[in-house]
Chains A and B, each alone.
Chain A
């Protein structure tokens, strides 16, 4: 560990630490443009030049390029070094426009900061500025090439870090251009980070362009809730509206970046259709009246039937506080539930995965980068949890190999081996790998791919198994856990990484009594007449359940439906009572991500209807009211607390503190935790004693005999399938058109071809969709995205098989004759 002196301060740093990093540890921020902790040092901008007075190198050198060595004495304030840095800034400003007031980066611009702090106030250069043409890069990023200072961060991030190739460096000398060969929407689903890493205004966030300056914003740390990874973000609000979300660095979780779904997913919070008033039978009423009517009606149903006739269904996107409030309500009042999962199968798979997240095996997203072999089973990283693909890519950049077993034509910006296997086959293979067998259960030899995976697992020191829980059976996460445990006994350092259905699926699993606590189970009880009233908390079953007709029939059978939500789901329209709730940006909340990391989001703003809505274009936008317009929504846990207090005299309201106190007392996984004051990177929960592995438990659908035909699998896409981000209009343009995917091996006997518009006759209706044929999909399955533009909810519950006669190509007679 070398010791180095910087500006008379001595510090000991690990071998290989760059001088710029060593200085940072001392609190000395040496100027930088091209250096970025995630992208490393390249010595391009030359603004981190400092004077080396003693040691192996001498003179003005770049502090990002030189590793600290014993005996080094460095001065950051040396006259020559300062003069050099001043010149670098002057050179950078030669071509940079002098128009900060009209640049959206102004106020959070590194170039602006360094120009001012470097004392470059007067322009000496008298020549003309070099100018460029800008490109239209799509709805998410604005491009202004004239502002470029050529730090190469964008190209290094885009090509090297994320592995997408459509943006890069063109030209040379001071005509060097950063962009695409020609304009067009950026292909990377991680493009928004360009706005974060660009040290000046070349790439700025397009949707929030000119919404305000950084100092205008209410800006707080938050979390992304658009998948189960729980990436850290900074959210900015202005004039009662969320305007921007940026990545918040987190070593354990997302590193320095987030995906575009996460970054731009927040628009639901100020959506045109967001319901903000409590309603009774569809008519706006005061909050108190709505709550009173609810308790009155529920009391009546309880009296008439039993407490169990009232069911509570929440979701995996509820905060932990809300989930705990539903739990308390059900325990105290004897209601049915709470159910958090759409189907019993989903609940089981999640619980099994949660049970596998033992502290010795579970790895964080950040730790995936340390793997030397990664087996991905039943997961499609870019589509299900985009940032996972970036984490895997970093492992590959460090030399890891990746093998994927998944029925989908998985695409990732990295080299990997892919076995397009059906869920049943993945089950079989993973079972064989977990047992260390050379053949599957039926005694058949394993495919070469699986044998090679087995060899690579055996040869690796740090294997990580990434396992999905969406389209696989509960046996797969269980087998993944056993495989990891077996590798551990062979003195390896295995890691286990599950994906889960929702940002707080982990919390939901901890609070579920049994796997049968699902929406599916509640629907059965409604159909059987045992449940007469339903409290639906921040759940959108019309959107997420695969059997819409059955859901609608069940809901119409209810005596009473209460809905609490912050989006205008179809359930809101059919509710007897609706209570508007706040979003994560207004109330904050705790979430447990898929590795069991409990982390918190801060409230960003007070909420209310944004000024651009209340002002209706008037200038200045004014409205003279005592209260905040549109601020009726309350945190769901508070609303549930009011219901609880109204229903039971023993409750004294239910503010956040009370919920958390109840949680730490009643649920062992949360006892003795500083729930009110979590560390930045959260706390990894130890759930090994809390939740039993669901081994042996079977989802009844799993035992269904495979029927003849092709199995229909539902899947997620990066954009357009997740409920909340699907409401973001700016993401609609980057969505890929949804299509059904079939293996090339299966289409022949179906008489279909690529690009066909097909109709699929399903249980509850007919689906029209475009067909994509690929050799990279598993045979015997067809894959349908849960896309907002497809009425996929006619598929039906359980495993679904489609026979040849159910699929038809819609062709004009003429084209049919040709083919």
Chain B
């Protein structure tokens, strides 16, 4: 790691093991919580987060303060704060790395965010593949509780927080907050179309705030070091803070790195991922997980922050960058992604449940050389209509397809004309 790159979340990360509660406290852990409980009001925390421009790191980039602020002053109790650790987006593994680095940072973030919404019941919803992380969390929650950072009347204040770990049954859609809400209530994890919003009527009809692991981990740092400090971490005006990037695909050093928001894609690949292998040139990447579009070469120098990607017609999503080189067939890559999405559809609405397998069938035909020219407009129209599905799953699922048809149309047509995959 280059020395001048500011490290926040990974600063005290130990190689091969998690930091202990004592270690976490040594470098300022739980100071933010005691500061908050020592006299700040929920509104102060919200204001701080607003000033810091902290956007949700789970993919949707929704301002965290606004979510907290939508919990009405007179809303009923108990209120819930949910830490969304159901990291199912393909290519994304930052939450796992973070939980295995400093779990108390997340626990402290949950307690502070919970305080800001007067939520005294916390749940960490974690994907079943993260069993190790779940056990770590359970153990560290006990440690935090024994040290007085969780449980009744935290640090002698009138604020209490009961935090539990809930293992998901393991479906992509469970990461979607309304589906997660159903899952937590023991129902089928079908999404629910707001209104009501979870912050108004969430779990069992009570206000519920969902936040991603990484977002929550940022909170103690903002409280301790201030909003300006956090915003200035970013290399762009529009961004704020650092970001955990997950790099995979055709790079020499895949992995998870913490970089300032706005770090250019080219720098990410060439410096932080050790460049591409010998003989590989950049063709495209998925900038934010499987549900974002292919980012073509013309954007190779794009600054990776939410705003810039949005302007390019794409999304930063979970900042899971998958890099493809000139030898990768993007039709085959899309078939791979579509197989995943067709399988992971919850089955609630028709466009998603039936449209995705249909699209997969057409794409598979094109990839195997059975495609016909009329399949392309069919795919285009279906992809467009999938934006009228029930939740955001289907629009995300067709994002790679839509960019494939726009930016790599020639490659698609080549498959059809040559009646085979040109990469085979």
Contact = CB atoms under 8 A, between A and B. Distances in A.
A87 B382 contact: yes
Q: Chain B at the A interface: mostly helix, strand, loop or mixed?
A: helix
A175 B382 CA distance: 21
Contact-residue bracket for chain B: 20 to 34
A125 B358 contact: yes
A88 B171 CA distance: 25
Contacts of A94: 354, 357-358
B361 A43 contact: no
A169 B187 CA distance: 10
Contacts of B351: 46, 87-88, 91
Contacts of B354: 91-92, 94-95, 174
Contacts of A49: 388
A175 B353 CA distance: 9
A72 interface: no
Contact of A175 (B173, B347, B348): B347
Interface string B370-391: 0000000010011001001110
A357 to B, nearest CB: 38
A172 interface: yes
Contacts of B171: 172
Interface in A611-650: none
Nearest to B352: A173
Contact of A46 (B342, B347, B350, B358): B350
A174 B193 contact: no
Contacts of A175: 347
Contact of A87 (B188, B345, B365, B381): B381
Interface residues of A, number: 33
Contacts of B361: 125-127
Interface in A741-772: none
Contacts of B357: 94, 127, 130, 173-174
A214 to B, nearest CB: 26
B349 interface: yes
Contacts of B355: 87, 91
B350 A91 contact: yes
Contact of A43 (B173, B346, B365, B390): B390
A60 interface: yes
Interface in A317-366: none
A299 interface: no
Contact of B347 (A65, A125, A176): A176
Given A87-B382, A173-B343, A92 B350 contact: yes
Contact of A126 (B193, B365, B390): B365
Nearest to B347: A176
A84 B385 contact: yes
B347 A172 contact: yes
A126 B360 CA distance: 12
B417 interface: no
B205 to A, nearest CB: 12
A47 B188 CA distance: 23
Contacts of B307: none
Contact of A173 (B188, B193, B346): B346
B344 interface: yes
A230 to B, nearest CB: 37
Contacts of B347: 150, 171-176
Interface string A72-104: 000000000001100110011011000000000
Contact of B388 (A60, A127, A174): A60
Contacts of B343: 173
B373 to A, nearest CB: 14
A174 B382 contact: no
B383 to A, nearest CB: 11
A163 to B, nearest CB: 15
A75 to B, nearest CB: 15
Interface string B328-369: 000000000000001111111111011101100100010000
Given A174-B345, A174-B357, A169 B188 contact: yes
Nearest to B378: A124
Contacts of B349: 43-46
Contacts of B344: 172-173
Interface in A282-335: none
Interface string A109-149: 00000000000000011110010000000000000000001
Interface string A145-174: 000011010000000000000000101111
A46 B388 contact: yes
A176 B358 contact: no
Contacts of B193: 43, 65
Nearest to B342: A173
B340 to A, nearest CB: 11
A49 to B, nearest CB: 6
Contacts of B350: 44-47, 88, 91-92, 149-150
Contacts of A91: 350-351, 353-355, 358
Contacts of B358: 91, 94, 125, 127
Contacts of A171: 347
Contacts of A60: 388
Nearest to B353: A174
Contacts of B381: 83, 87
A88 B381 CA distance: 12
A61 B171 CA distance: 27
A61 B389 CA distance: 9
B204 to A, nearest CB: 15
A44 B388 contact: no
B348 to A, nearest CB: 5
B197 to A, nearest CB: 15
Nearest to A168: B188
Interface in A765-812: none
Contacts of A150: 347, 350, 353
B35 to A, nearest CB: 43
Interface in B285-304: none
A173 B348 CA distance: 8
A342 B344 CA distance: 63
Contacts of A152: 348
Given A87-B381, A125-B358, A150-B347, A176 B353 contact: yes
A125 B344 CA distance: 21
Contacts of A83: 381, 385
Contacts of B382: 87
Nearest to B341: A173
A91 B394 CA distance: 14
Contacts of B342: 173-174
Among the interface residues A43, A46, A176, which one has the most CB atoms of the partner chain B within 10 A? A46
Nearest to A59: B388
B390 A172 contact: no
Nearest to B189: A172
Nearest to A45: B350
A264 B196 CA distance: 41
A703 to B, nearest CB: 53
A65 B351 CA distance: 16
Contacts of A45: 349-350
Contact of B390 (A44, A84, A125, A173): A44
Nearest to A130: B357
Nearest to A177: B347
A172 B378 contact: no
B389 A46 contact: yes
Interface string B177-193: 00000000000100001
A130 B193 CA distance: 28
Contacts of A169: 188
10 contacts: A44-B350, A45-B349, A46-B349, A46-B390, A83-B385, A84-B385, A91-B354, A94-B354, A173-B344, A173-B345
Lowest 6 A-B CB distances belong to which pairs?
Answer: A91-B354, A176-B347, A127-B361, A173-B345, A172-B347, A46-B350
Given A45-B349, A173-B344, A176-B347, 7 more contacts: A44-B348, A45-B350, A46-B351, A46-B390, A172-B344, A172-B347, A173-B346
Interface of B: 171, 173, 188, 193, 342-351, 353-355, 357-358, 361, 365, 378, 381-382, 385, 388-390
